[in-house]
Amino acid sequence: MAIFAIGDMHLSLGGDKPMDVFPGWEGYLPKLEAKWRTLIQDTDTVILAGDTSWAMRLQDTKADFDFLQTLPGQKWLLKGNHDYWWTTARKMETYIAANGWDTLHILHNNCCLVGGRALCGSRGWPFDDAEAQSAKIMAREAGRLEMSLASGAEAEERIAFLHYPPVFGTSCAQELVDVLHAHGVQQCYYGHLHGKAIRYAVQGERDGIRYKLISADGLAFCPYKICD
């Protein structure tokens, strides 16, 4: 019952936006699949930290979700900034059930319990982009993270997953970090960063929380094992 995580797979099996056109992403999907099947078993849990599919509409995710279904493990998806197909949890869960994807689950205002651990998360929001700043949206994302962490209050440990980095350089999304501290989170995993931005990712402990970047190219397309 190991726990793994990876973000930003940007699947496009049913579309025309292959990531292979970007430097470092050439032939990434066979590499990812091979490493996934080597490491992960059916009894394991995998958190997909956003930007899972390039699909624009929920129904257009079918080829990508069919692929995910074939991979070992139970997969929990949270929202990324490019998951344009994302809709309400009820609609997504109904769609997943109707297609028989029994290894896919939505991580949104809830948590995934694995043993004594609660796996919690939300999309987050970019605090370092002045054009994207919105106090209202940041407060909403902090509320969603709060709800997710609160749903795992009885667990021995709560682990947080975000799509956007809650810390970058010497700055942080204070609203989100405050929520992490309030719930005693000691591990936080995030994605979103690619290419040259990876070198500036905060990795390691800061103020009692250990941060780790898990974007696909940041992990050399190998799911990261958090614990057994």
Asked if residue 189 lies in contact with residue 181, where contact means CB atoms within 8 angstroms, the answer is no
pLDDT value at residue 22: 83
Q: Report how far residue 173's alpha carbon sits from residue 157's, in angstroms, rounded to the nearest whole number.
A: 22
pLDDT in tens, 76-127: 999 999 999 999 999 999 999 999 999 999 999 999 999 999 999 999 998 7
Q: Report how far residue 128's alpha carbon sits from residue 119's, in angstroms, rounded to the nearest whole number.
A: 26
How is the chain split into domains, by residue range? 3-227
User: Which superfamily does CATH assign the domain made up of 3-227 to?
Assistant: Metallo-dependent phosphatases (3.60.21.10)
**Helix 135-151 with 174-182: angle, nearest 10 deg:** 20
pTM of the full structure: 0.96
pLDDT value at residue 131: 65
pLDDT value at residue 19: 86
Q: Report how far residue 104's alpha carbon sits from residue 66's, in angstroms, rounded to the nearest whole number.
A: 10
From the list 126, 132, 142, the residue with the least C-alpha distance to 180 is 142
pLDDT value at residue 16: 82
Q: Report how far residue 17's alpha carbon sits from residue 163's, in angstroms, rounded to the nearest whole number.
A: 20
For the chain, give the secondary structure using H, E and C.
CCEEEEECCCECCCCCCCHHHCCCCCCHHHHHHHHHHHHCCCCCEEEECCCCECCCCHHHHHHHHHHHHHCCCEEEECCCCCCCCCCCHHHHHHHHHHCCCCCEEECCCCEEEECCEEEEEECCCCCCCHHHCCHHHHHHHHHHHHHHHHHCCCCCEEEEEECCCCEECCEECHHHHHHHHHCCCCEEEECCCCHHHHHHCCCEEECCEEEEECECHHHCCCCEEEEC
Mean pLDDT by 10 residues, the chain (228 residues): 97 87 90 98 98 97 98 98 97 98 98 97 84 82 97 97 95 95 98 94 97 98 97
Q: In sequence order, which residues have a C-beta less than 8 Å from that of residue 139 and are 6 or more positions away?
A: 175
